[in-house]
Structure 1
């Protein structure tokens, strides 16, 4: 799986999204039950770099179908893809279901854990 991750990264850096997609389809059909969260995140990141929102949603759907829980960065990318596609309700559902309730901020030089919903409420009122 590490080799696949490296290959996908190389295709991303080389602007070869079509070849990455071919490799991804091969991985998905060959190793459907053992694909790591990292590989899903790599593919979503690749599609995000190439502004391919429909493909991000497809990979995320496969991720959900296989029961792989996305990391925080992937959740943000998927939510942004839904927003760019004009599907605000789906964006909210993804954030509500997968976004972590806590986040870390830096306050007076220290890293502090705060509840996300309280922090977001304060951001929206300012």
Structure 2
């Protein structure tokens, strides 16, 4: 009876295997460092050892490109740290200014004057810091300044600005911004923004506006589902 082996263990071969395997060479590889063959145990082990050695050499020759990933990761860390410091500088600047719009906008223009690109990440981080500190007037001023520069027109910025309007009792400005968002960002308004407006109207005891906003939300969802 013919025997095959995997490493040094032997087992009977089926009739189909006998017909397919010819000679004393390795028949085929299973791809995981071992083969099926018809050689005696010693020869089979020798061939498997040679095969493992060739695989090891191939792995050694394979180029490993880890430096690029590490450099990119470090670059991202440096950028994150830099934007964080810029954000803190912005917060420090606006916190010490009087409330006049012209004074604040002038200081913000100086803050960004030497930048080759608008520091959007730093400005967004500054907004989050001001929001956590409940400095609502400064949130409004910085957010409006960003939007006046054509920057930061995102659902996150709108949400922060609407919250600041709510906390600073500027319902009219909140409604004006909300209507702009409804007409400009049709079918792409986040649920959070609808929730923010409903909360604002509830906070200021405006039930009719709550119903109106809810209807707008339902209509927006129907348009999204229908794809129109």
Q: What TM-score comes out, normalization by structure 2 length?
A: 0.37
Aligned residues of 1:79 and 1:91 also touching (Cα < 8 A): yes
Aligned residues of 1:28 and 1:35 also touching (Cα < 8 A): yes
Per-residue CA distance 1:41-91 (angstroms, 9 max, x = gap)? 211111000000010111012112211142211111100101111110101
Relative to 1, partners in 2 of residues 1:84 and 1:29: Cα closer, same or farther, differing over 3 Å?
A: same
Aligned residues of 1:57 and 1:81 also touching (Cα < 8 A): yes
Relative to 1, partners in 2 of residues 1:55 and 1:89: Cα closer, same or farther, differing over 3 Å?
A: same
- Indicate whether 1:82 and 2:165 are aligned: yes
Q: 5+ residue gaps in structure 1?
A: 12-17, 106-115
Offset, 1:98? 3.6
Aligned counterparts of 2:151 and 2:83: Cα–Cα separation in 1: 17
Q: 5+ residue gaps in structure 2?
A: 1-77, 95-106, 192-214, 222-228
Relative to 1, partners in 2 of residues 1:27 and 1:19: Cα closer, same or farther, differing over 3 Å?
A: closer
Counterpart residue number, 1:119: 218
Q: 2:111 aligns with which of 24, 27, 44?
A: 27
Offset, 1:36? 3.8
Aligned residues: 104
Counterpart residue number, 2:83: 5
Counterpart residue number, 1:64: 147
Bigger RCO of structures 1 and 2 (CA < 8 A, at least 6 apart): 1
SS of 1:30's equivalent?
coil
Relative to 1, partners in 2 of residues 1:65 and 1:56: Cα closer, same or farther, differing over 3 Å?
A: same
Q: What TM-score comes out, normalization by structure 1 length?
A: 0.61
Counterpart residue number, 1:47: 130
Offset, 1:35? 1.6
